[in-house]
Amino acid sequence: MAPSLPDHASLLVELKEVRRAGLVRLRGRALPALESAAEAVTATVTEARSPGAAVEALLRLAVSGLDAGTLRTAAEYTLGLAQGTRDWAASSRRARAATVYGVSVERFRKDHEVMVLGQVAEHIVRLVSQESGAPGAGGDEWNGGTHRSVEVRVRGRKVTLTVHVHPVDMLRDVDVVVSPANVHLELPGSYKSSVAASLRQAASLRGVTGDVSDDPLHDGLRKWAARHGTAGRAVLPGTVAATGSGALAGQGVRRIYHAAIAVPRAGTNDYDVLPADVTRAVSRALALLAEEGDQHTPPLRSVCFPLLGSGRGGLPYHVSLAAVWAAVEAELARGALWDVHFVVRSPEAAALVERIPAGR
């Protein structure tokens, strides 16, 4: 009987331990998931004589399968696989990896590092599945990489969706990014870990010392509220406010659509998000794209959605996706020709988006 695939969550926990310890300190550490995966991949068994050496060989094999460029380079520094870094302190490796993405060490720790190690874990699962023929080796599972295309048919017309599995601030060459917001259109601090916070930080302009000299998303929302007479009060759920993209313009992101879907719960730090409000906001975002698209040069033609409301809003991934897709599919059925993207943070969420063509 073919063995089952290694557990992604267990692999991720152990990869974080490898990151902390470094390759030179693996001997004697309990890494059962990684050691089991190394045993299952015959290429590593033939090269390695000890569990620690087998794990290192497995990591090198998995990282070599990542997308060439920033993702692979950051993984090599993070795990000490880059030439001359195997004995570096964990803090030094993290700092070097952060420079690959041009972000602060703290931002890398919260966002990019989780994504990088998650991608390594995904490739290990893929290697084991290919070697052992384990159940789940194909079909519905996300099989690695930071993005891929999904073809769907809407009223007989073939439409290609692009799915990204990485932090939202790593998006490149997408005209419009839809960002979740609360009904007061107040942005979270840029130091927090959320879609809106990541976009705020990435859009900010900084001086030579790294201090923020301009906060264009915050300022843009204040101007929008003043222009529409909503300053100091909440807007209706489903409202969408458009702003410029600040420094994100350098990455090809030209507009941010702030979708007001989160209603603060009185006396708490929590929010309520209704799927109907998500659908309403997505419909409004697409209507706004149609209204202003041709006013830009070149015209706005691509739009990217996170799974709105699936963070602090508490919506399960499948509920958020259904709410977003209901509005997107309706517009595509009317003949809209936009290039539609989804950006998610986990392989589980990516796999859900990939199931759209099957109607599941």
Query: How big is the chain by its Cα radius of gyration, in Å?
Result: 22
**What's the CATH class of domain 147-358?**
alpha beta
139 vs 120: CA distance, rounded Å: 20
CA-nearest of 250, 277, 275, 241 to 261 is 277
What is the four-CA torsion angle of 163, 168, 174, 177, rounded to 10 degrees? 110
- 65-77 pLDDT per residue, tens: 776 678 889 999 9
Mean per-residue pLDDT, 12-32:
88
- 311-341 pLDDT per residue, tens: 878 888 889 999 999 999 999 999 888 999 9
pTM, rounded to two decimals: 0.66
CA-nearest of 161, 146, 195, 174 to 355 is 161
CA-nearest of 282, 240, 259, 245 to 181 is 259
- 109-158 pLDDT per residue, tens: 888 898 889 889 888 888 887 765 544 444 445 555 678 888 888 888 88
CATH 3.40.220.10 domain residues, the chain:
147-358
Kindly state the greatest CA–CA separation across the chain: 70
Identify whether the C-beta of residue 221 lies closer than 8 Å to the C-beta of residue 243: yes
Task: Verify cis geometry, omega within 30 degrees of 0, for the bond prior to 298.
Answer: yes
- 156-194 pLDDT per residue, tens: 888 899 999 888 888 999 999 999 999 999 988 766 778
Q: What is the pLDDT of residue 358?
A: 57
Q: What is the pLDDT of residue 138?
A: 41
Mean per-residue pLDDT, 349-360:
76
Residue for token pair 């696989």: 81
CA-nearest of 326, 217, 229 to 277 is 326
pLDDT of residue 263 exceeding 60, the answer is: yes
Structure tokens at 10: 């267990």
Structure tokens at 270: 């929590």
Least confident of 105-109, 177-181, 192-196, 214-218: 192-196
Residues 6+ apart with CB under 8 A from 181: 187, 196, 221, 241, 258, 259, 260, 261, 262
